[in-house]
Amino acid sequence: MFKLNGEDICRESPPDSEEIPAKYLPTARQALDIMRTRILGKYRCDEIFSSLPGGKSLRDLYNGLDIWINYDPSNDGTDYGWTMPDTFPYDIVITQYTLRMGRWCTLGTIVHELAHLNGAPGGDSTAAEDTLKSCGLRSRSGPYEPGVKG
């Protein structure tokens, strides 16, 4: 399951992340609802996630230990989210910009960051973003962005 830092009482979150402000909690909740009702168990999401170095399917991640969604007030339009898999393997950080862009952008970012928690490399790799294609998140208007690295 996912927990929202700000809705649920969070333990220590990654440095420079904080509680999701109340006004963005509905967007985050909507993104998770879409994942649960329209993506989990569908498309090729379990197959693509299982192929990552961590080897867990999307369903494994969803049903495993709680994964926390945290907030970064960054709002510059270039940073969507981040993780620190080595030290915070059950935390995703989503920026204010992403939440402002709405539930689909938030969902796409959560899936991208989940891929990093499951071992998708950063740097020049497109592995994390490419998982969106196999999770029903590819349309003309996004949220999948071909060629996004890291």
Pick 25 or 109: Cβ nearer Zn ion? 109
Draw the binding track, 100-129, toward Zn ion (x: CB under 5 A; -: no contact).
Answer: ----------------------------x-
Residue 48 lies near Zn ion (rule: CB under 5 A): no
Within the chain, where are the H helices?
25-34, 45-50, 58-63, 96-101, 103-117, 127-130
In the complex, least distance from residue 9 CB atom to Zn ion, rounded to whole angstroms: 28
Closest contact distance (angstroms) between CB of 80 and Zn ion is: 8
- Residue 116 CB, shortest distance to Zn ion, in Å, is 6
Tell me the closest approach of the beta carbon of residue 120 to Zn ion, in angstroms.
7
Dihedral sign for Cα atoms in the order 16, 10, 39, 44: positive
Helix (H) or strand (E) holding 3: strand 2-4
Q: What distance in Å separates the CA atoms of residue 42 and residue 137, rounded to the nearest whole number?
A: 11
Q: How many residues bind Zn ion (CB under 5 A)?
A: 2
What does the chain come to in residues?
Answer: 150
What residues line the site for Zn ion (CB under 5 A)?
Answer: 128, 150
